[in-house]
Structure 1
Amino acid sequence: MIPFRKMHGLGNDFVVVDDRQKTLGVTPARAAAAADRHRGIGCDQFIVLEPPGEGADVFMRIYNPDGSEAEACGNATRCIAHLLMGETGRESVVVRTVRGDLPCQRLPDGTISADMGPPSLEWQDVPLASAMDTTHLPMTVGAVTDPAACSMGNPHVTFFVGDLDRLDWQALGPEAEHHPLLPARANVGFAQVIDTDHIRLAIWERGAGPTLACGSGACATLVNAHRRGLTGRRARIDLPGGTLTLEWRLDGHVLMAGPVATAFTGEFDWDSFAA
């Protein structure tokens, strides 16, 4: 039997397994089966802890529910940091991902902050299908148009809308994710700027669909909003699952802070998810 934890950041939920001994036999198909909400355990991402090598406390591998591998996940980073802090007794740890090394710390209010690194702003780094200004994309999906794009290790586009409550964003998400301008697909944010330090955000995640929160999406939204002159470099971002606090520092790094929780623990075997 394989032990697991069900963790979440603002309802953005994860099944976490520890494969630091490299004995579990995780594959994309198995991760997708465990992530299935009807026939498996159910989660937004399936997280595998692996040996980190020198200079980090763990390597975090991220699988989407469709079995594809994600490069970054901010809320999962904060969850794993919280788990490692409990293991080590330390108040700061380094989580290694495909994106790179992400330093994390526990703040005085008990929330977990993750340094998600600097965004990539060039068209080829998002990536986009051809050369263009990433602050204004010639892209229209239904009633929304003119998004901005950047990469937080994974690709993001952000549409800025007047009234999020009047927008059927879940209907627009699949078309936007698979738009021809986005050869690697993308996480799609629909953002309503309330004030220069306050944003409401809904996210359609690549390979996962609508989620209650998306940490890397919140980071990309602040970056894109500031680049468009809509906000300052710090903002509260309200997502369906709760609130994250973001700062795009002058050194280029994006910091994200918020709560994490363990919902429950359990055990499973791969055969229980057989088709």
Structure 2
Amino acid sequence: MKLRFHKMHGLGNDFIVIDARRQPVDLGGAQVRALCDRREGVGCDQLILIEPGEKAEVRMRIWNPDGKPASACGNAARCVVSLTGAPTIETEGGLLTGVTVDDMVSIELPPPRFAHDQIPIADPVDTRPLPMAWDQLSAPDAVNVGNPHLVFFVDDLDAVPLGDLGPRIETDPAFPDRINVNVAEVNDGKVRLRTWERGAGLTRACGTGACATAVAAIGRKLAISPVEVEMDGGTLEISWAPGQNILMRGPATHVFTGDIDMDALA
């Protein structure tokens, strides 16, 4: 079976995007892992399936390279809006709205959640900050912006071995659904960020990670909205006020369209 796909990225956070609005596509975990493989498949940080929406114009389903589903992805949402022009997107993490202006896409996400059972965390505990530590990383903010994040603020971002600490924290038993790990450095109200994504590892950019980090920085009065969040792949602008939705603004890039023989991946 030939499968048409689009290769897209948001600040280097790259995706296989499959438009299944007219022709249903059924993917299993093994097929997702094969498609996401960078040596023997197409390769991506996440695989995105666009389907007809029930509560919105389209529905976005997300899988990580390990074949497990994810509930939200900010960079992917911008790519879906750019590709389809859909003003509303239904996701497992909530209803999103989006608009393209010139070469930038703005996505509005539901308000962040902070309660321990909304992250979720196994035991009742304060989440702002969370009284936990892993080596030099301690007292993060726990924020759910459609998917769960920890945000650590540090003095020297480059001194943190996130490639080693990220998988340890992601799979800590305290987080029954695993968790995304963000390490941020704030200077003059501007945020520099690196993210370990659950099921994907280190990525060049993470849209929901940028949102969670901006929310945490504003909450700690380290930054004022709108916040510029700089990642290895580029910069996103995040706006938020307590009790309000989150607004994320940044680019979405279409790289190429192709067809892949699914039988060859079996």
Q: Please tell me the TM-score bracket, short chain as reference.
A: over 0.9
Q: List runs of 5+ in structure 2 lacking aligned partners.
A: none
**2:11 aligned residue:** 10
Helix, strand or coil at the partner of 1:79: helix
Cα distance in 2 for residues equivalent to 1:268 and 1:136? 46
**1:88 aligned residue:** none
**2:93 aligned residue:** 99
Helix, strand or coil at the partner of 2:24: coil
**1:46 aligned residue:** 47
* More displaced 10-residue stretch of structure 1: 214-223 or 21-30: 21-30
Residue 229 of structure 1: CA displacement?
2.4
**1:157 aligned residue:** 150
5 Å-filtered alignment, 1:49-128, equals 49-53=50-54, 55-85=55-85, 93-107=87-101, 109-128=102-121
Cα distance in 2 for residues equivalent to 1:272 and 1:77? 29
Residue 176 of structure 1: CA displacement?
1.0
Q: Does the 8 Å contact 1:135/1:228 carry over to 2?
A: no
Helix, strand or coil at the partner of 1:174: helix
Helix, strand or coil at the partner of 2:167: helix
Helix, strand or coil at the partner of 2:244: coil
Cα distance in 1 for residues equivalent to 2:93 and 2:130? 24
Residue 144 of structure 1: CA displacement?
1.2
Amino acid at match of 2:239: E
Cα distance in 1 for residues equivalent to 2:153 and 2:94? 29
Deviation track 1:81-138 (CA, whole Å, cap 9, x = no partner) reads 00112xxxxxx6111111222110123x420000011111111100011111111112
Cα distance in 1 for residues equivalent to 2:25 and 2:127? 41
Q: Does the 8 Å contact 1:226/1:232 carry over to 2?
A: yes
Matched, 1:131 2:124: yes
Cα distance in 1 for residues equivalent to 2:174 and 2:84? 39
Helix, strand or coil at the partner of 1:62: strand
Residue 270 of structure 1: CA displacement?
1.6
Cα distance in 1 for residues equivalent to 2:69 and 2:39? 21
Helix, strand or coil at the partner of 2:87: strand
Q: Which runs of 4+ in 1 moved over 6 A?
A: none
* More displaced 10-residue stretch of structure 1: 143-152 or 249-258: 249-258
Cα distance in 2 for residues equivalent to 1:271 and 1:243? 39
Matched, 1:188 2:181: yes
Amino acid at match of 1:67: G
Q: Name the TM-score, length of structure 1 as normaliser.
A: 0.93
Residue 265 of structure 1: CA displacement?
1.2
Residue 172 of structure 1: CA displacement?
1.1
Residue 251 of structure 1: CA displacement?
4.7
Helix, strand or coil at the partner of 1:150: strand
Amino acid at match of 1:180: P
Q: List runs of 5+ in structure 1 lacking aligned partners.
A: 86-91
Q: Does the 8 Å contact 1:249/1:255 carry over to 2?
A: no
Cα distance in 2 for residues equivalent to 1:102 and 1:223? 17
**Count of aligned pairs:** 265
Residue 23 of structure 1: CA displacement?
3.3
Cα distance in 2 for residues equivalent to 1:234 and 1:215? 15
Cα distance in 2 for residues equivalent to 1:190 and 1:99? 22
Matched, 1:25 2:26: yes
RMSD: 1.3
